[in-house]
Amino acid sequence: MTRREVLKSGVAAGATLAAGTAVAAATGGTLATKRPFKLKYAPHFGMFQNSAGPDPIDQLKFAADEGFQAWEDNGMKGRSVEEQEKIAKAMQKLGIQMGIFVVNPEVAWTPFLSTGSKEGVEAFVKECKSAIEVCKRVNAKWMTLVPGVADGRLDRGYQVANVIDGLRKGAEVLEPHGLVMVMEALNSRRDHPGMVLNRVADNYLMVRGVNSPALKILFDLYHQAVDDGNLIPHMDLCWNEIAYIQTGDHPGRNEPGTGEVNYRAIFQHIHSRGYQGILGMEHGNSKPGKEGERAVIAAYRAADDF
């Protein structure tokens, strides 16, 4: 499952929101019926739709009942104000914390920063400004940032400098509001060749170069497993700049236990470091239907058992 497929599934789920249910209103802030996880794993819309139905509010309720304490939605920025407010209200009642949405969906798949163009930076800053009201409506603090496509005409050093300069402009917009862009390195070997940021070390370099509390690292364990490996040591090396983590086993980009990554060891390490943030479940389900959804939940219960 690619990032675009995850985004598409979330938007599709939102199409049914207008139908609504009384589920969220009836919860009155009820705690999860099953033991909460040790860490804040965050599903997304569509992940549990066979078990909960197509309505997003029902999916939130189902997740809360299973012990999940967080949620993420890449496409939140593209939803109507009404949808955003309904989702936020339901999450508040269910005790679910909002994770990321994509801050720059209009320019993310273009060379908007690597070229150093004035127009690219202006478009990025415009997206940062438009994200502020979304954050307020849905009680979000973090937003995924994808720094775009590489410019093959420029040497790598010039591109990195251009990216840092552009990111500073976006950070200046968000910093006064206490909002944080979490920048994601996307793997080049399987899913995203040609992007300006693929490796975790470069992510660290760019974030340190910008030097703003409004820009931190999104450590995506799936992407880093593909391009970097050596996950726990890499995580430790850039720990002081990590503000958000995403999961997904490799190969396959499905739930823990379906690939080669030892997620129980990784989750235990993250917990031992006192991480209080969210771990977004940005991956697919290895099996279809309700059976596949139960398998996802069981996988997280097993990996969280440390």
Question: What pLDDT was estimated at residue 23?
Answer: 36
CA 268 distance to own-chain centroid: 20
pTM, rounded to two decimals = 0.90
CA 53 distance to own-chain centroid: 23
Tokens of 127: 């997206």
Enumerate residue ranges in the chain where pLDDT < 50: 6-8, 11-31
DSSP secondary structure code for residue 32 in this structure: P
Question: What pLDDT was estimated at residue 4?
Answer: 52
Question: What pLDDT was estimated at residue 127?
Answer: 98
Question: What pLDDT was estimated at residue 2?
Answer: 57
Any idea which residue has 């954050």 for tokens? 135
Residues 44, 48, 49, 53: is their CA dihedral positive or negative?
negative
Q: 97-98 and 70-71 as β-strands: parallel, antiparallel, unpaired?
A: parallel
Question: What pLDDT was estimated at residue 27?
Answer: 35
Half-sphere exposure at residue 261, Cβ-oriented, CA atoms within 13 angstroms:
28
Catalogue all structural domains in the chain, each as residue range(s) with its CATH number: 3-303 (3.20.20.150)
Check: CB of residue 223 under 8 Å from CB of residue 185: yes
Question: What pLDDT was estimated at residue 1?
Answer: 53
Question: What pLDDT was estimated at residue 106?
Answer: 97
Residues ≥6 apart with Cβ < 8 Å to 230: none
